[in-house]
Amino acid sequence: MHHFARQLASPYPLLAAVGAKTSHIEIGTAVIDMRYENPLYMAEDVGAADIIAGGRLQLGISRGLPEQVIDGWWYFGYQPGEDESEADMARRHTEVFIDVLRGDGFTQPNARPMFPNPDGLLRLEPHSEGLHERIWWGASTNARGLGRGVGYESAARDAQDRRDRPAVPCSTGRRDTRIPRCLERGQAPRHPRVSVSRSILALVDDRDRAWFGRDRKSEDQIGHIDPNTRSIFGCSYAAEPDRLVEELAKDEAIAEADTLLLTVAN
């Protein structure tokens, strides 16, 4: 999600709407920028959306991508602490978010509440059971993970930590099976899934061709997460349905992946 861009910036209403209109597909994001998020308010919103969807949310979060504006998180009321980077701030927000999603009580109840309280400490509501196990930290293959039972998601096909280390082009179709150290040490509750992200657009009428026909010859895109980290993102597919089937069948990375993440035009 990108704030200050001319597109949808808050995913929670859309997640709830999609969840209400569908029954089987998993619904997710890739990724929510945790530099901008109030972790408690966010937990309430995603808890409600997950309940509406019947427990089908797969929520991608991360330290954030290049911004539309300079230090946009400052306008939302956040700033890194002393000796803390903005990426550290995002991880700090995430740790609070994961903790409250588990559903443990942490606040003292008022002796004269507006509504009756259960016994003991109170948790945030609405609480969606199991949602904390469906949170994914988006990062490059060389990034340090979070641990804390959070899964690993990579929308970028490869990345380099230093400018002098070559990245592997995604057009090779090679599956990159490197996993952050936190998952290799067995801290994750399940075997981590490897996801491949693709924009797949079926052109069935003139309106589709006008909006998305330019993606017919899409190629790999190179971007920078920060001044020292380059990422290569996969190409988009846009064609008539029969042609799409032929092209996707040749994509070796899709065949190897555990999960195919379909990005929706925003």
Model confidence pLDDT, tens digit, residues 83-122: 999 989 999 999 999 999 999 999 999 999 999 999 999 9
pLDDT digits 0-9 by tens, 228-243: 666 666 677 889 999 9
Cα distance between residue 216 and residue 209, in whole Å: 9
Tell me which residue range forms the domain holding 120. Answer: 12-199+258-262
- Take residue 45 and report the two structure tokens written for it: 């919103």
Residue 147 resides in a domain = yes
pLDDT digits 0-9 by tens, 3-25: 998 888 899 999 999 999 999 99
Cα distance between residue 119 and residue 139, in whole Å: 40
- Take residue 66 and report the two structure tokens written for it: 């290049």
Tally of domains in the chain: 1
Residue 212 resides in a domain = no
Residue 140 resides in a domain = yes
What's the first-to-final CA gap in the chain, in angstroms? 9
Residue 155 resides in a domain = yes
Q: What are phi and psi of 73, to 5 degrees?
A: -60, -25
**CATH number (domain holding residue 130):** 3.20.20.30
Task: Give me the mean pLDDT over the 143-154 stretch.
Answer: 62
The band of 187, judged by pLDDT with boundaries at 50, 70 and 90, is very low
Cα–Cα–Cα angle for 92, 95, 97, rounded to 5 degrees = 110
Cα distance between residue 88 and residue 84, in whole Å: 6
Using alpha carbons, select from 182, 176, 184, 198 the residue that is nearest to residue 251: 198
The answer for residues whose C-beta is within 8 angstroms of residue 201's C-beta and 6 or more apart is 208, 212, 215, 236, 237, 238, 265
Using alpha carbons, select from 146, 261, 125, 130 the residue that is nearest to residue 197: 261
**Sign of torsion, CA 201 224 252 135?**
negative
- Tokens 């550290």 appear where? 88
Residue 132 resides in a domain = yes
Residue 214 resides in a domain = no
Note the maximum CA span of the chain.
Answer: 66
Residue 235 resides in a domain = no
Residue 52 resides in a domain = yes
Q: What is the value of pTM for the model shown?
A: 0.76
Q: Are 16 and 58 in contact (CB under 8 A)?
A: no
DSSP secondary structure of 195-253? EEEE-EEE--SHHHHHHHGGGGG---EEEEEETTEEEEEPPPEEE-HHHHHHHHHT-HH
Cis-peptide, bond into residue 196, ω within 30° of zero: no
